[in-house]
Amino acid sequence: MDNTVRFWNAKSGNQIALGKGHSKWVTSLAWEPYHSSQPGRLRVASSSKDGTVRIWDSVSGRQDMSLSGAKGSVSCVKWGGNGRIYTAAHDKLVRVYSAENGSLLNTLTGHAHWVNHMALSTDHVLRTGFYDETGKSPLTDEEKLAKAKSRFSKAATIQNSIVERLVTASDDCTMYLWEPSTGTKPIARLIGHQKQINHVTFSPDGLYIASAGWDNHVKLWNAGDGKFIATLRAHVAPVYMCCFSADSRLLVTGSKDHTLKVWDVRTAKLKEDLPGHQDEVYAVDWAPDGGRICSGGKDKAVRIWTH
């Protein structure tokens, strides 16, 4: 908890730059979408317990902007593909900022307690940028930028319009589904969890939302209208995190009960039980190529699982 943001070379493991500015620990990070970045420059947003979000140049470590306004800890930040940055905070509010100048565009209200987490319908395509299921990478920077833009536009197009949806999860045991570009009124209120919700995510194909909560349950929802689909029951302790496979067919969950579980999304049935961690499993992620799962937990171990 040194309140810093560090940038590393992924190939050599060497530190490139150090960002200093937060007065309390960092809670979340979000890269600038590749298709929105300038040549040779990629920025990252960091949210913090100090109530701010800061935008950094990942090459120099220089701070470009600071987004303020939250009256408590900022628990999560997301950098959208349409020029907006979204923040969720302990003051019960979700804020929408301009990624260009940092101005506050909208405030989304409705939650009655801390907003713990949020997800964008475009998260998967923003994460993978110009990479796709073919495994072929464009050769030039211009080709990479064009492909990243094309993939984002295709994933975000709904009825001939670019639409980026947002889902927020709270300690008030509810979620809200939003379309921030069209207004501040939620599309739907998602209710069903009996305790606070830790994590929420969209499926890569944009059809499903999965949520994980302290009630030991994972729930599936329709990403279009927010309607409940199914409850996934097998964990015997709070579920901390969930992640879809790249093809959206499977979902992996990590829990306080020391296990990961893999679910068939279409049948809502348990497919695999993955024991092995000696303590709580805090983090899970599915590789974009679909072949591996990574998990980390309180036992200080990182485990790689093959699918």
Is pLDDT at 79 greater than 90 in this prediction?
A: yes
- The per-residue pLDDT for range 284-304, each reduced to its tens digit, is 999 988 789 999 999 999 999
HEC sequence for 17-64: EEEECCCCCEEEEEECCHHHCECCECEEEEEECCCCEEEEECCCCCEE
Cα–Cα distance measured from residue 37 to residue 221, given in angstroms and rounded to the nearest whole number = 32
What is the value of pTM for the model shown?
A: 0.94
Beta carbons of 282 and 303 less than 8 angstroms apart: no
3-class state of residue 124 by DSSP: helix
pLDDT number for residue 121: 97
- The per-residue pLDDT for range 149-170, each reduced to its tens digit, is 999 999 898 888 889 999 999 9
Widest distance between CA atoms in the chain: 50
Is pLDDT at 118 greater than 90 in this prediction?
A: yes
User: Quick one: tokens of 176?
Assistant: 């809200």
Q: In the predicted model, what is the mean pLDDT of residues 135-152?
A: 87
pLDDT number for residue 254: 97
- The DSSP annotation for 257-287 comes to TS-EEEEETTTTEEEEEE---SS-EEEEEE-
Nearest to 269 by CA among 223, 222, 234, 305: 234
Kindly list the domain boundaries of the chain, sorted by start residue: 1-108, 117-121+164-307
Position 39 confidence tier, pLDDT thresholds 50, 70, 90:
confident
Alpha-carbon radius of gyration of the chain: 19
When mean pLDDT is compared across 94-98, 141-145, 222-226, the lowest value belongs to: 141-145
Domains 1-108 and 117-121+164-307 belong to one CATH topology: yes
CATH superfamily of 1-108: YVTN repeat-like/Quinoprotein amine dehydrogenase (2.130.10.10)
Instruction: Report the DSSP pairing between strands 260-264 and 269-274.
Output: antiparallel
Position 138 confidence tier, pLDDT thresholds 50, 70, 90:
confident
- The DSSP annotation for 138-163 comes to -SSHHHHHHHHHHHHHHHHEETTEE-
For domain 117-121+164-307, which CATH number applies: 1.10.730.10, 2.60.40.420, 2.130.10.10, 3.40.50.300?
Answer: 2.130.10.10
Position 237 confidence tier, pLDDT thresholds 50, 70, 90:
very high
